[in-house]
């Protein structure tokens, strides 16, 4: 068992308020790990810390044996630790094809060549179409991303993310606001993707991750409440209390 | 997919060809100096549009590069006695350098703060243009000689000068088109659309912003440098903040983020200033009314609205 991502004593303080407090997290390579918790538990903050969109107050983050605590978000992404966003993150005015191509373009490093024609980018078209087909968006290749439905935007985002060949994916509430049909499609997609890379996903609902994740970490008020597989976690009295307590609040 | 030839859609290629043909015969029908002025401003607006329309960055100090370059080019031609093309090159290089310095500081801020920082620096450039010993203070640099192109072809007459200006501005606009439609331009549009997402794909967005800033300043400088050769003059008007406002107006009126919008906007504004000059102070009032109407009726600008009707990017 190898640990691909590890956080030690991860803490984020906002003016005296500890959004994330001394969180220790170990994500096993090749697993689907879920980070769940009620509203305000610090899931998204924790997520932003791990992807470096926020700088931790204290603690260390080790990714693939490398200390990434002080790295810039783009740097972390280049190491293969790629995130998605809670609100669907696509480039609305670009076509579906261009959305994926812009990710594939990363493979050649930075694109500072402003003098070259964009026909150069056609070499990525086939690969982009392949990724688009994988998420079932082939018929929309030439549509503007803004025209897609919510579920399809999410699928497009995942296609673009996969185009980066990530070694680890961090998904921020991939199922939020989705219809049941979409949830099943994305679940199947995540399972398929997990064969190639490690996944850490943040979710609000325990039920969504029940038969998807290998390991679940429950967060409440910035601290870890319980950890284990679904069976263990769902029966933990603290977890039941936290969810019901939050439901009444 | 829209059919493309060498990276340009056929529609755009056709429009550029018609435009070029029109510009070739234009000086035989209108006053060449007026036509040259329109072309300089068209390039200026197109350069500004690269930053605003495709980079999503609103600079409120583009007069610094336009005017700064015109001072340097005028000085190079008048005092150093350089040939026109070298003088223009000097002015453009100065604008690029200025863009690099100001840009690297300004891109650290966003939105309105970015605009304010660019304005503040532009005001400093204005102050320098007023106070430095070689700038001629209130008078500016006057009677700049037109010189000989490559030291051989005289640009004294308007017609040869016109074709010199046409070549530079038209190539400049084509080059800006290429930038927008390059791998770099593609990333730029992605950053404009969704910056955090572009970061999560691993792009160093600040580098791209700085690069587009410098490119925009460079072409704005090219336009200013050429203008100083046409009017044989570098004056405070070109570095004044009102000039920064004018280029915003041209771009918005024509349609920001479109290819041909800034060109149309520049043509409209310059033509208005030219033909309404007899109304004196009323020009600004008329200009204001037109701008208000433009914003109310054509929110995407003239060309932007046209593109929407035709369902084609213009």
A43-47, A204-208, B242-246: least confidently modelled range: A204-208
Whether residues A117 and B187 touch (CB distance < 8 A) is answered with no
**Residue of chain B minimizing CA distance to A110:** B203
- Taking only the tens place, the pLDDT of each residue in A1-28 is 688 999 999 999 888 888 888 889 999 9
pLDDT at residue A245 tops 90: no
Question: Mean pLDDT for chain A?
Answer: 86
Q: Is B204 left (phi over 0), alpha (psi -120 to 50) or beta?
A: beta
Domain interval for residue A93: 3-248
Distance from CA of A226 to the nearest CA of B (A): 30
Q: Is the CB of residue B210 less than 8 Å from the CB of residue B104?
A: yes
CATH code of the domain covering residue A230? 3.40.50.300
Q: What pLDDT sits at residue B2?
A: 45
In terms of pLDDT, which residue wins out, B62 or A193? B62
Q: What pLDDT sits at residue B81?
A: 86
Reduced to 3 states (helix: H, G, I; strand: E, B; else coil), residue A199 is: strand
* Residues in A 169-228 with any Cβ partner in B closer than 8 A: none
Q: What is the ipTM of this complex?
A: 0.81
A182-196, B88-102, B187-201, B240-254: least confidently modelled range: A182-196
- Taking only the tens place, the pLDDT of each residue in B111-128 is 899 999 999 999 999 999
**Residue of chain A minimizing CA distance to B212:** A114
CA B230 to each of CA B26, B139, B161, B226, B310: distance values in angstroms, whole numbers, following the listed order: 16, 17, 8, 6, 37
Q: Which residues of A60-87 are buried (b: 16+ CB within 10 A; e: fewer)?
A: ebbbbeeebbebebbebbbbbbbbbbee
Interface test with A, best of B2, B7, B179, B190 (most A CBs within 10 A): B190
Q: Mean pLDDT throughout B234-250?
A: 92
Whether residues B202 and A74 touch (CB distance < 8 A) is answered with yes
- Taking only the tens place, the pLDDT of each residue in B142-199 is 888 888 878 778 878 888 999 999 999 999 999 999 999 999 999 999 999 999 899 9
Whether residues B183 and A116 touch (CB distance < 8 A) is answered with yes
Q: What pLDDT sits at residue B254?
A: 93
Whether residues B185 and A118 touch (CB distance < 8 A) is answered with yes
Distance from CA of A90 to the nearest CA of B (A): 7
Instruction: Note whether A118 contacts B: Cβ–Cβ < 8 A.
Output: yes
How far is it, in rounded angstroms, from Cα A78 to Cα B8? 32
Whether residues A110 and B201 touch (CB distance < 8 A) is answered with no
β-bridge partners, A23: A10
Whether residues B205 and A113 touch (CB distance < 8 A) is answered with no
CA B232 to each of CA B25, B75, B159, B267, B269: distance values in angstroms, whole numbers, following the listed order: 24, 10, 15, 21, 22
The secondary structure of residue B233, as a DSSP letter, is: -
pLDDT at residue A29 tops 70: yes
Q: What pLDDT sits at residue B313?
A: 84
Q: Give the rounded distance of the alpha carbon of A174 from its chain centre.
A: 7
Residue B157's φ and ψ, nearest 5 degrees, are -75, 150
B166: CB partners within 8 A, 6+ apart:
B23, B24, B39
The Cβ-side half-sphere exposure at A248, using a 13 Å CA radius, reads 5
- Taking only the tens place, the pLDDT of each residue in B20-58 is 999 999 999 999 999 999 999 999 999 999 999 999 999
Whether residues A106 and B203 touch (CB distance < 8 A) is answered with yes
Q: What pLDDT sits at residue A225?
A: 84
Query: Domain count of chain A?
Result: 1
What residues in A contact B203, CB-CB < 8 Å? 74, 106, 110
**Residue B278, Cβ density class (10 Å: 0-12 exposed, 13-18 middle, ≥19 buried):** exposed
Q: Please tell me the pTM assigned to this model.
A: 0.85
Whether residues A106 and B201 touch (CB distance < 8 A) is answered with yes
Question: Mean pLDDT for chain B?
Answer: 90
pLDDT at residue B1 tops 50: no
């Amino acid at each position: 068992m190898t640990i691909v991502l590890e956080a030690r004593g991860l803490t984020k303080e906002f003016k005296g308020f500890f959004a994330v407090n001394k969180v220790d997290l170990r994500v096993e390579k090749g697993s689907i790990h879920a980070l769940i918790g009620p509203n305000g538990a610090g899931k998204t903050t924790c997520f932003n810390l791990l992807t470096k969109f926020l700088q931790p107050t204290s603690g260390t983050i080790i990714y693939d044996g490398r200390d990434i605590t002080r790295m810039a978000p783009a740097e972390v992404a280049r190491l293969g630790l790629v995130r998605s966003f809670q609100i669907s993150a696509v480039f609305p005015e670009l076509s579906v094809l261009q959305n994926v191509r812009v990710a594939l373009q990363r493979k050649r490093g930075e694109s500072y060549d402003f003098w070259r024609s964009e026909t150069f980018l056609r070499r990525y078209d086939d690969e982009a179409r392949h990724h688009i087909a994988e998420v079932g968006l082939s018929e929309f290749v030439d549509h503007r991303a803004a025209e897609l439905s919510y579920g399809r935007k999410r699928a497009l985002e995942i296609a673009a993310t996969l185009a980066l060949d990530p070694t680890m994916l961090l998904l921020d509430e991939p199922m939020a606001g989705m219809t049941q049909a979409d949830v099943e499609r994305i679940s199947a997609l995540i399972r398929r993707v997990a064969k190639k890379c490690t996944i850490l996903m943040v979710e609000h609902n325990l039920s969504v991750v029940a038969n998807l994740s290998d390991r679940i970490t429950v967060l409440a008020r910035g601290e870890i409440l319980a950890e284990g597989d679904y069976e263990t976690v769902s029966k933990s009295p603290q977890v039941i209390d936290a969810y019901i307590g939050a439901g009444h609040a | 997919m829209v059919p493309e030839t060498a990276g340009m859609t056929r529609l755009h290629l056709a429009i550029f060809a018609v435009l070029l043909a029109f510009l070739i015969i234009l000086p035989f029908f209108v006053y060449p100096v007026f036509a040259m002025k329109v072309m300089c401003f068209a390039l200026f607006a197109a350069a500004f549009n690269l930053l605003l329309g495709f980079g999503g960055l609103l600079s409120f100090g583009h007069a610094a590069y336009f005017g700064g370059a015109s001072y340097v080019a005028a000085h190079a031609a008048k005092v150093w006695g350089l040939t026109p093309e070298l003088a223009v090159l000097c002015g453009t290089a100065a604008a690029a350098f200025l863009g690099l310095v100001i840009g690297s500081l300004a891109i650290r801020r966003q939105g309105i703060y970015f605009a304010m920082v660019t304005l503040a620096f532009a005001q400093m450039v204005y102050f320098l243009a007023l106070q430095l010993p070689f700038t001629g203070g209130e008078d500016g640099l006057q009677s700049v000689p037109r010189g000989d192109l490559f030291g051989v072809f005289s640009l004294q007459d308007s017609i040869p000068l016109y074709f010199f200006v046409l070549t530079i501005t038209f190539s400049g606009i084509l080059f800006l088109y290429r930038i927008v439609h390059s791998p770099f331009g593609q990333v730029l549009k992605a950053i404009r659309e969704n910056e955090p997402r572009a970061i999560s794909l691993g792009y160093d967005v600040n580098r791209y912003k700085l690069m587009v800033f410098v490119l925009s300043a460079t072409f704005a400088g090219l336009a200013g440098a050429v203008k100083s050769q046409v009017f044989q003059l570098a004056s405070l008007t070109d570095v004044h903040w009102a000039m920064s406002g004018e280029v915003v107006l041209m771009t918005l009126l024509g349609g920001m983020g479109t290819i041909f919008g800034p060109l149309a906007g520049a043509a409209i504004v310059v033509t208005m200033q030219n033909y309404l000059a007899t109304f004196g102070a009323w020009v600004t009032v008329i200009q204001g009314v037109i701008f208000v109407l433009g914003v109310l009726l054509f929110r995407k600008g003239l060309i932007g609205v046209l593109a929407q009707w035709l369902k084609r990017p213009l």
